[in-house]
Structure 1
Amino acid sequence: MADVAADTARDSETVLKPKQLIGVRHYQFVLMSTTLFISFGIRTSLSVAIISMTEETPPDPSIPTYPEWDNTDTILSSFFWGYILTQVGAGQLSEYFGPKWFLVMTMVIASAFHIAVPGMAATLGSTGVMICRIIQGLNQGFLFPCIHNMISKWSPLYERSMISNLVYGSPNLGIAVCMPVMGAICASKAGWPVAFYVYGGLGLVWAVVFAIFAENSPSLHKSISEEEKYYIESSNSVTHHATKKVPTPWTTILTSLPVWAIVVAGCANCWGGHTLLTEIPSYMSNIMNFDLNDNSQLSALPYFVQYFFGIVTGPLVDRMIEKKTFSVTSSRKICNSLASFLPGAALIYLAFLEDFNPTLVTVLFVIAVGASALIQSGYLINMLDLAPNHAGTLLGMINSINNVFSILGPLSVGLLGSDKKDPILWRTVFLLAAGIYIGCGLFYVLFTSAEVQSWNEPIDRKNKVQKEISNGVQTEDRTNTKSSNCQMSY
């Protein structure tokens, strides 16, 4: 009976898809995407600006610089010291109160402290910059749990990969735009402080836009059609009818092997991804001898490729799932494997490279970073497959663990050696990242799943549905909410 119910629900999803090409949900995804685009510009700014902040000869003598700072790796990693602390609480709060206003405050606080960086650097030195970054990290810990919570409410099943790539691809676009923009401003006579003011001001303006137009869920949106609302809510396994938050089954979550498969896959992505994000500019400067403008432009290229690769592959994955070319579980494994093994192979090749040809190096970085776009159709959206009712909490818990590796990845470069002009140091860095990518990718393939887990639903609701199934009853409530309570196997 469970399989029959699931198949019937999937058939109805296809029939009830709204006729209009662009719906209210798409505007919500654009709002989420732009939030992440700006937030990652704020987060990434320092990776480019730190080169100008520590040079001895600025473009204009009036621009302050700090060549005596010898702790740049620590400064760059300090964002994640705060970032890992708030995410589980953020996930819980977003599920109790809704994510919208937490996202607004995240933008306001992160932007204000971005504007404060030049003043704090002048007053307190590198410690002042780290204070700003730690506060930004604490605050941006709310970002992904809240966004994930909104996606769980607004995304139909057969649009998840497309939505994931649109929303979670926007940080890559934010990075890709930020690097050349920051590079150009920092290399100009305006100087690096202006770059912080520009991004901080943009974030404050966007917080107002988001506050006006974003909404927590379809049921709270005033202008959405009943047809579109039903299409969304009938296929995403969220308990929309619940009058209060579904209790979090902590013991079951912490002992779930598919959850730990996602954790492990995320650790690899955070180690490799953030090592590349923070260190590509340094590699280009020290090994390739590029100036700041060329450095930032080439450093940005892999992230442009990553963004557009994700935008293209997301709808294809959804289409293959809808046409049953692959099951949801198989598609998640295939995408995540490519996102792990291709970067691993590219980094191994880069590690043993002796001819530092700019074109070849750029192509290898493009492969290493660009292929990671497939995580958005892999482990990242896999959390919604398992338990959309707990999307914010799951994302918060998993991202907290993962981002320990976001700290360790960049810090490992400093621990492995101090001479960034030494190719052997970079060989060690790249081989370590490649090993983590490949090992964690294999673990994910072996142990992940895309079944809606039994603990997604509250116990009383689950017992009610199981009784209905055993009696062969389809109630009006189940037809309208289509909660997928019976461990749908995709």
Structure 2
Amino acid sequence: MGLCCDCFRSNGYQQIGQERQGPRFGVRHLQCFLVFTGLAVAYALRVNLSVAIVAMTDRNPTNPDFQEFDWDESIKSYLLSSFFWGYVITQVPGGYLSYKYGAKYTFLFGVLICSCLAVLTPFCAEIGDWPLLLVLRATQGICQGMIFPSTHTFLSKWSPIEERGRLVTCCYSGSQFGTVIMLFVSGFMASSWMGWPSIFYASGVAGILWSIVWYMLSASTPAEHPFITNNERRFIDNSMSESRIVHTEQTRMLHSPPWLKILTSRPFLTLLLVHCSNNWGFWTLMTEIPTFMKNILGVNIRSNGPLSALPYLVMCILSFCFTILADFINGLNGITLSFSRKFFNTLGQWVPMCALITLGYITTSNTNVSTIAVTLLTVAVGVNSATYLGIQVNHIDLSPNYAGALMGITNCVANIIAIIAPLAVGVIVTDETNPMQWRVVFYVSASFYFVGSLLFIVFGRTNIQPWNYPSNNSGNSSIVVSKLDDESNDETSPLNNGN
């Protein structure tokens, strides 16, 4: 997977000395595999209650040896949403802390503490019933709020510009992989001799084991990793030099993110709006379409574990397919980084937009129509993974030094939108059997997809912003200096002119 680093004039480089190649498989790939598995564990910890709560409140339990709880729908809703109450709180602090102290440690503590709490979940539910469980889930959300910003900070240091889209996509596909695994196995564990507590024990122990491996084999930057070769470190450093990545802990301590410049930057504000629009559409698909299909088409997806996991499985598979397509497109002469980002983001938002509009006109309940509806839902969710190569990686494009802080801000606001979207559906849909009301919901969500993608096409940028470069008041150079003037980092430059 290593590519020539010094000959990529499209990313602002001139050929300097002998052309060097990074190893085809190196420490950077090991780091990305660890991120992939870490996100898989994190999402397994996030969705474990969604499946377990069915067995915990089952009035006709498949395994009567374990305690059941008399929780009504409102209590279950509070428990399922409490994770996100804490999750939105630590997004921005998580981005700042990962920048200041290193993403290795914020990612580590985010997963480790959440995993320990998962192991304690059955005990807390038994002694404190739902109030204590609600506090525990909110605390887990606080821990996991640091994970996505930490991931962006981590990848901004480890992913060479030439491989950035591919590595970021592969890492984030771990979230879908973890969701699929948890949805598939939870039902079997709940009905086995181990009962529903095993769902929390298994995911918690997996997270603790991953944390040990992560602590031993990861490093916040290539310079801090004990096993990386000089060749691979030079390859990454040369690729990063145009970005002026902050390398040392001393420099991280000296410079805080320029919050005012970030919050008044048009490319960043565009990214924020597009991230919010994508979350509105995506979470409408994931939270409300199953209700629509149950009441209008008579298909209960939530009661079918493999069927409920299908959209996530397709999303995981298509994310790898899109990286292959991206490599092909980026290899074409004259293709710019800006075009690539906007193409995949448009694909990831406008295909689900079309699927939502089509679903609004499916009102007949029969086997063939239900199959079409399930297919549309699966394709819509799956194709949304193309946004990993669009807005999801754009934070690093705009500011490699502060990518975690940017991700913290956008993910915080976008997750608030994800909470508001289902509430808005509740206002529009007063009769769940009325297809016309559902059609309005789909039109609204499709509009968010359309406008968001259009904003990114018109106002989105991929060149590094001036506020990415921390000023060095100490007079000691602790950043990697650009090999070319800033003007050369032009998003009209072709991706592959140097080959």
> Fold match, TM over 0.5?
yes
Q: State the alpha-carbon separation in 2 of the partners of residues 234 and 13 from structure 1.
A: 12
Q: Is the 8 A contact 1:47 1:278 kept in 2?
A: no
- Which one of 329, 334, 347 corresponds to residue 343 of structure 2? 334
Query: How far off is 1:457 after superposition?
Result: 0.8
Q: Structure 1 residue 352 and structure 2 residue 371: aligned?
A: no
What secondary structure is seen at the aligned counterpart in 1 of 2:13?
helix
What secondary structure is seen at the aligned counterpart in 1 of 2:219?
coil
Query: How far off is 1:218 after superposition?
Result: 0.7
Q: State the alpha-carbon separation in 1 of the partners of residues 17 and 414 from structure 2.
A: 34
Query: How far off is 1:395 after superposition?
Result: 1.0
Q: For residues 187-243 of structure 1, give each alpha carbon's deviation from its aligned partner in whole angstroms, at most 9, with x where no partner exists.
A: 556433221221112111111111111111111111211111111111131434564
- Which one of 354, 374, 384 corresponds to residue 386 of structure 2? 374
Q: State the alpha-carbon separation in 1 of the partners of residues 388 and 372 from structure 2.
A: 26
Structure 1 residues 380-389 or 400-409, which shifts more?
400-409
Q: For residues 364-385 of structure 1, give each alpha carbon's deviation from its aligned partner in whole angstroms, at most 9, with x where no partner exists.
A: 1111101111111000101111
Q: Pairwise mapping of residues 228-307 of structure 1 onto structure 2 (< 5 A)? A: 228-236=232-240, 237-240=243-246, 243-245=250-252, 246-279=255-288, 295-307=304-316
Compared with structure 1, are the counterparts of its residues 274 and 77 closer, same or farther at alpha carbon in structure 2 (3 Å cutoff)?
A: farther
- Which one of 32, 37, 46 corresponds to residue 35 of structure 2? 32
Corresponding residue for residue 489 of structure 2:
488
1:64 counterpart letter in structure 2: Q
Corresponding residue for residue 43 of structure 1:
46
Q: Is the 8 A contact 1:385 1:450 kept in 2?
A: yes
Q: State the alpha-carbon separation in 1 of the partners of residues 469 and 343 from structure 2.
A: 28
Query: How far off is 1:122 after superposition?
Result: 3.6
Q: State the alpha-carbon separation in 2 of the partners of residues 85 and 153 from structure 1.
A: 25
Structure 1 residues 452-461 or 228-237, which shifts more?
452-461
What secondary structure is seen at the aligned counterpart in 1 of 2:228?
coil
Q: For residues 21-78 of structure 1, give each alpha carbon's deviation from its aligned partner in whole angstroms, at most 9, with x where no partner exists.
A: 2111000000011000110111122233333333321113333334542223333222
Q: State the alpha-carbon separation in 2 of the partners of residues 126 and 13 from structure 1.
A: 65
Q: State the alpha-carbon separation in 2 of the partners of residues 418 and 189 from structure 1.
A: 42
Corresponding residue for residue 215 of structure 2:
211
Query: How far off is 1:291 after superposition?
Result: 7.1
Query: How far off is 1:314 after superposition?
Result: 1.7
Q: Is the 8 A contact 1:168 1:376 kept in 2?
A: yes
Q: For residues 248-288 of structure 1, give each alpha carbon's deviation from its aligned partner in whole angstroms, at most 9, with x where no partner exists.
A: 22121111111111111211222232343445665666666
1:82 counterpart letter in structure 2: G
Compared with structure 1, are the counterparts of its residues 306 and 433 closer, same or farther at alpha carbon in structure 2 (3 Å cutoff)?
A: same
Q: State the alpha-carbon separation in 1 of the partners of residues 280 and 220 from structure 2.
A: 32
1:144 counterpart letter in structure 2: F
Query: How far off is 1:435 after superposition?
Result: 2.5
5+ unaligned residues in a row in structure 1: which ranges?
466-475
Q: Structure 1 residue 225 and structure 2 residue 234: aligned?
A: no
Q: State the alpha-carbon separation in 1 of the partners of residues 301 and 198 from structure 2.
A: 16
Corresponding residue for residue 76 of structure 1:
80
- Which one of 182, 195, 202 corresponds to residue 198 of structure 1? 202
1:327 counterpart letter in structure 2: T
Query: How far off is 1:484 after superposition?
Result: 6.8
Q: Is the 8 A contact 1:40 1:174 kept in 2?
A: yes
Q: For residues 391-437 of structure 1, give each alpha carbon's deviation from its aligned partner in whole angstroms, at most 9, with x where no partner exists.
A: 11111111111111122234444555577666566545444322222
Structure 1 residues 319-328 or 159-168, which shifts more?
319-328
Q: State the alpha-carbon separation in 2 of the partners of residues 27 and 180 from structure 1.
A: 27
Q: State the alpha-carbon separation in 1 of the partners of residues 436 and 186 from structure 2.
A: 29
Corresponding residue for residue 131 of structure 1:
135
- Which one of 51, 54, 59 corresponds to residue 56 of structure 1? 59
> Once superposed, what is the RMSD of the aligned Cα atoms?
3.0
Q: Pairwise mapping of residues 407-486 of structure 1 onto structure 2 (< 5 A)? A: 407-417=419-429, 426-460=438-472, 478=481, 482=483, 485-486=486-487
Corresponding residue pairs, total: 473
